[in-house]
A and B are shown apart, each in its own frame.
Chain A
């Protein structure tokens, strides 16, 4: 049913479409805009940055290697348990140092990776 409100809404639709059609046909001259953008582009290649998957692989890989070194050279079969017990008793042992190093490394690499991803 055609009501005055419908007619008015159709009129708005028509006005908007007419104005939009004229707007879409018009062209803004480049006037060195492209060269300004190209001059402002960062020099660092987009190809040099690592993908998130590669970053994740590096973080996990480095942490695993550090953990492997720690367990190999500490001659303890229960590095994590020993370290936790030592932390609980406020004793600084090689196990605590190894655990702290692994944790700090993981945090530093994660934070730096997330910052460079921005």
Chain B
């Protein structure tokens, strides 16, 4: 994924928890506290959206901005039942889904969605620092349906539990598990097509 540096997050150690900052926003309408939340979560959210949009940085950043604005407007509805980051992912997923609908004027679940999404994406080209495995993985991800890709992104890249992914994607937990199995099977086939020796190597190593 381009434009991501391998430095550590400077906001890993913070004095205030997300909950403290949200309480300040709710009680004192503290915009500075919200700015801290944005700064703290922007990297993870933008990265997640870049994954969802197939690496379209500008589009992903626009959705990320829209997500934070929606979070500010609806902060009163945050019930502290989920983590703030999980709540953000849910808003972001809905915003992304709505953007996709707007762009293609098709309904969610339409069979043509994966093809349309793929057509929207620029071709993924391997960069000099990018390994063949990562390139093949990106290609394999592109072969997934929208919901399969969303589930893989939430469960692996955003490190959410199946329960949390079900909450973010507004789908039953059984559907999340089914999508993961289907996605992994499709990826196995895609990776075999692109680079059979990779699967042999990994398989033997495992």
Interface residues of A (CB under 8 A from B): 4, 7-17, 19-20, 23-30, 33-34, 36-38, 40-42, 45-47, 49, 51
Interface residues of B (CB under 8 A from A): 1, 3-10, 25, 29, 31, 34-35, 38-39, 42-43, 46-47, 51, 61, 64-65, 68-69, 72-73, 75-76, 133-134, 137, 152, 156-157, 159, 184-185, 187-188, 191-192, 198-199, 202-203, 205-206
* Cross-chain contact A16 with B35 (CB below 8 angstroms): no
Given contacts A15-B202, A37-B69, contact A47 B156 (CB under 8 A): no
* Cross-chain contact B206 with A47 (CB below 8 angstroms): no
Smallest beta-carbon distance B55→chain A, Å = 12
Given contacts A34-B39, A41-B69, contact A14 B47 (CB under 8 A): no
Smallest beta-carbon distance A17→chain B, Å = 7
- Specify the main secondary structure of chain A where it touches its partner: helix
Q: Quick one: closest A residue to B61, CB to CB?
A: A33
Contacts of B206 in A (CB 8 A): 7, 10-11, 14
Report the separation of the CA atoms of residues A19 and B53 in the bound assembly, to the nearest whole angstrom: 17
* Cross-chain contact B156 with A17 (CB below 8 angstroms): yes
* Cross-chain contact A46 with B25 (CB below 8 angstroms): yes
* Cross-chain contact A26 with B4 (CB below 8 angstroms): yes
* Cross-chain contact A11 with B76 (CB below 8 angstroms): no
* Cross-chain contact B76 with A46 (CB below 8 angstroms): yes
Smallest beta-carbon distance B13→chain A, Å = 14
Contacts of B35 in A (CB 8 A): 34, 37-38
Looking at A7, A27, A38, the one whose CB has the most chain B CB atoms below 10 A away is A27
* Cross-chain contact B69 with A40 (CB below 8 angstroms): yes
* Cross-chain contact B47 with A26 (CB below 8 angstroms): yes
Report the separation of the CA atoms of residues A36 and B29 in the bound assembly, to the nearest whole angstrom: 19
* Cross-chain contact B187 with A12 (CB below 8 angstroms): yes
* Cross-chain contact A37 with B187 (CB below 8 angstroms): no
Report the separation of the CA atoms of residues A9 and B180 in the bound assembly, to the nearest whole angstrom: 11
